[in-house]
Amino acid sequence: MKSSIDTTPPKLPKTPKPPKISFKAQMLLAREDAIVQAVNRLLAEKGFDAMTVDEVAANVGIAKASLYKHFSSKEELAAAAMVHIMQRAQAFLSSLPASDTPIGNLRAAARWMMALKLAGEMPSLPSQNSTLRATLMGNKAYMDGVMDASDRLGAWIEAAQQNGSLNTTLPPIAVLYTLYARACDPVLEFLRLNDQLKDDDIIDLVLKTCFEGLNSR
114 lies in some domain: yes
Domain membership of residue 84 (yes or no) is: yes
Examine residue 183 and state whether it is found in any structural domain, yes or no: yes
Let me know if residue 198 belongs to a domain.
yes
Total-model pTM: 0.83
User: Rounded to whole angstroms, what are the CA distances from 187 to 19, 118, 184, 192, 210?
Assistant: 48, 11, 9, 8, 12
Angle between helices 74-95 and 53-60 (to 10 degrees): 60
Q: What is the mean pLDDT of each run of 10 residues along the chain (217 residues)?
A: 58 65 74 93 93 94 92 95 95 93 97 95 89 95 96 97 95 96 92 88 95 81
Number of structural domains the chain divides into: 1
* Structural domain harbouring 79: 75-212
Assess if residue 176 is contained within a domain: yes
pLDDT score of 215? 80
- Residue 142's CATH number: 1.10.357
